[in-house]
């Protein structure tokens, strides 16, 4: 209470001294509120009226008018099996449609965004777009960070490839070194949000009885790098699952459902198609899951047919 009273007195002094603007500059980055949307697993394709559904999500986001959008991976479906012409057309479609957002969009690489990694692909690892190449050409870096109103956001690449033509869920050693170096430049008091396509923490394997493939295999290393920092939230996708939890008063995690549901055919795991809207106030946040209307539209269209 004494600290608050002292701060209030200082605020009054600034105002009397004509330094109110200076005080605002000092305090606003930490205390200014904002909202952002987390959309994951869009699985954009020309089939199954997916562009109609994605456009509905874009319009719903614009109606809510958050400061920015984070896409949690699997922007397109699917480029893992290669086919340059088809894959290019999918990324072009996503790049063009995402211009419809009225605010900045930050993308995360997902497994379905990895070009030509499957053995049946007509292209191989010698192709310049192999694995991350096409994603980078259209959407930029596969891992990076940005800051917004006093919060630090870290977008990770949680995907690698195996020797037998499959993807694996891992944050590699080069990226781990980058993460540690990135955090060295961030105050330990700064609120941090980590974004990853493959979950770092999830209960899905326990609930379904199938623990394989649902989380980053070296999650503990990633979380160890964040130890001692003000980690507030891990945002994640991939499993088309709505999930929220807290780890030992240390941080919270939120798995954001999906825009596409079960490949635009209906719900997956009974999770309704939608996205997450987050509201930040000071160092705390709240969230809600937003229905972008696709289920009702799909059922209406099927009934008309």
Q: Is the peptide bond before 36 cis (omega within 30 degrees of 0)?
A: no
pLDDT digits (tens, 9 = 90+) for 189-205: 999 999 999 999 999 98
Any idea which residue has 């509120």 for tokens?
33
Strands 151-155 and 191-196, sheet pairing = parallel
Could you give the domains of the chain? 32-304 (3.60.21.10)
Residues 276, 165: Cα–Cα separation, whole Å:
33
Helix and strand element counts for the chain (H, E): 9, 13
pLDDT digits (tens, 9 = 90+) for 159-188: 999 988 899 999 999 999 999 999 999 999
- What tokens appear for 289 in the block? 């899951």
| Euclidean distance between the first and the last CA atom of the chain, given in angstroms as a whole number | 65
- What integer pLDDT is reported at residue 305 of this predicted model? 66
Q: Which portions of the chain are predicted below pLDDT 70?
A: 1-31, 213, 305
Strands 275-281 and 34-39, sheet pairing = antiparallel
């Amino acid at each position: 209470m004494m600290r608050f009273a002292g701060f209030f007195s200082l605020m009054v002094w600034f105002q009397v001294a004509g330094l109110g603007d200076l005080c605002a500059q000092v305090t606003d980055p930490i205390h200014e509120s904002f909202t952002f949307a987390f959309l994951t697993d869009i699985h954009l394709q020309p089939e199954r009226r997916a562009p109609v559904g994605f456009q509905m999500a874009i319009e719903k986001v614009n109606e809510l008018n958050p400061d920015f959008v984070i896409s949690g991976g699997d922007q397109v479906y699917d480029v893992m099996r290669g086919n340059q012409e088809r894959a290019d057309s999918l990324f072009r479609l996503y790049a063009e449609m995402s211009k419809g957002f009225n605010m900045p969009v930050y993308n995360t690489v997902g497994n379905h965004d990895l070009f030509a990694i499957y053995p049946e692909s007509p292209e191989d690892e010698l192709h310049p777009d192999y694995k991350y190449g096409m994603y980078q050409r259209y959407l930029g870096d596969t891992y990076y960070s940005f800051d917004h109103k006093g919060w630090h956001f870290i977008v990770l690449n949680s995907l690698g490839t195996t020797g037998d033509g499959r993807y694996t869920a891992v944050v590699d050693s080069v990226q781990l070194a980058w993460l540690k170096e990135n955090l060295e430049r961030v105050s330990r008091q700064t609120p941090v949000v980590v974004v990853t396509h493959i979950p770092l923490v999830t209960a899905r394997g326990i609930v379904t009885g199938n623990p394989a493939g649902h989380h980053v295999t070296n999650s503990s290393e990633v979380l160890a790098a964040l130890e001692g920092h003000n980690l507030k939230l891990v945002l994640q996708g991939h499993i088309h699952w709505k999930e929220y939890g807290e780890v030992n008063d240390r941080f919270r995690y939120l798995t954001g459902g999906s825009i596409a549901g079960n490949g635009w055919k209906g719900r997956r795991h009974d999770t309704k198609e939608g996205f997450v809207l987050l509201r930040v106030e000071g160092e705390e946040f709240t969230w809600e899951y937003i229905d972008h209307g696709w289920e009702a539209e799909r059922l209406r269209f099927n009934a008309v047919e």
